[in-house]
Homo-oligomer: A and B are copies of this chain.
Amino acid sequence: MIVVMKPGASDDQVQHVIDLVRDFGLKDHPIYGTDRTVIACIGDKRAVDKGAIETAPMVERIVPILAPYKMASTEVKQTRTAIEVGPDKFPIGGNSVGLIAGPCSVENREQFLRVADAVKATGAIGIRGGAYKPRTSPYSFQGLQEEGLEILAEAGRNTGLAIVTEVVSVETVDVVAAHADVLQIGARNMQHYPLLEAVGKAGKPILLKRGLSAQLDEFLLAAEYIINAGNPDVILCERGIRTYEKYVRNTLPLASVPELNERSHLPVVVDPSHGTGHAHLVPAMCRAAIAAGADALIIECHADPEHALSDGAQCLTPDALAGLTGSLKRIAQAIGRDM
């Protein structure tokens, strides 16, 4: 890190900061500029709270230099990670772009088995559906819970699709891991650290959604929690961020895809459904996500969006999804991938 002193800092004040830097186990390297002094600090102490030095007299600010994550970083692992999911061991992060689709919630057995067949017919490699639903309002539909997990597992056996479903609490990690192929950590839980540690021991791949307004550093540190707890199979999912824009539920910042690919070896999936919130924007953003380099898409798809119990506004019908796959495949091929 770099400590920037205010102009006019005295020799004693600079020396005080140098002493603090040494207290933190770092090597100091002061540089005396024309207007002000900066102190470069050498040593790999990612866990130190460097902000504390900011309160020393005449310190203007602290500039961190090292990325705070390690195992998620391309500095530690240069080769890209592909993570095999589902009975067919489809490698997310390989050359082929994967498609995961399904309704927001498992609403009932018949609904879900029917949509699973339709999703399978589009060429998807996985199906999504919530059994445990984190809902903003306590009065909203909260999911079928264990009954939903069993329906998910049945759909998986019927179709061979990888089952992707969210886990919302430490206590249910085991039961979800017993029924699903990929455990999703939702955006609201991206910094729910006990849950990150629990899924770090779950033995199944994790789809980690970016938090509602997470910085990329925070997103990769959340992945680091899971890896650090023992699970290297983390799939990053960009699902849009909160901005001032009103025509979308979230703003989908697709430049995060190449940036995450630069910083991390982990695969990156894009969710254009939550990333826009409106069905009429989803097709264009599916196409754009693949063009930006996404390793897979995860899309909300419901046979009757007008009557969906949750997230109806952003669902495609299976027919609309099927009509989309041709252009998605051609875009994948345009950049030397397959689908």
Q: Residues on A close to B: CB < 8 A?
A: 2, 4, 7, 20, 23, 29, 31, 33-36, 38, 40, 42-44, 46-47, 49, 51-56, 62-63, 65-66, 68-69, 75, 134-141, 168-171, 188-189, 191-194, 211-213, 215-218, 221, 224-225, 228-229, 241-248, 251-259, 262, 275-276, 278-281, 283-285, 287-293, 305-315, 327, 330-331, 333-335
The 9 closest A-B pairs by CB, nearest first: A52-B312, A330-B334, A51-B313, A291-B291, A213-B213, A47-B139, A287-B291, A288-B292, A258-B284
Point out which of A75, A217, A285, A306 has the most chain B C-beta atoms below 10 A from its C-beta.
A306
Expressed in whole angstroms, the minimum distance between the Cβ of A124 and any Cβ of chain B is 19
Contact with A306, one of B36, B53, B138, B218 (Cβ below 8 angstroms): B53
A36-B65, A306-B20 given as contacts; is B141 within 8 A of A49 (CB)? yes
Chain multiplicity (copies) = 4
A34-B42, A215-B244, A247-B259 given as contacts; is B49 within 8 A of A312 (CB)? yes
Expressed in whole angstroms, the minimum distance between the Cβ of A83 and any Cβ of chain B is 20
A75-B7, A292-B285 given as contacts; is B49 within 8 A of A43 (CB)? no
User: Assuming A47-B141, A244-B244, A262-B280, what are 8 further A-B pairs, CB within 8 angstroms?
Assistant: A31-B31, A34-B42, A35-B44, A49-B141, A53-B312, A134-B193, A137-B221, A247-B256
> Once bound together, how far apart are the Cα atoms of A327 and B337, in whole Å?
12
* Contact (Cβ within 8 A) A224 B137: yes
* Contact (Cβ within 8 A) A191 B292: no
For A315, the chain B residues whose CB sits under 8 A away are 55
For A334, the chain B residues whose CB sits under 8 A away are 287, 327, 330-331, 333-334
Expressed in whole angstroms, the minimum distance between the Cβ of A88 and any Cβ of chain B is 26
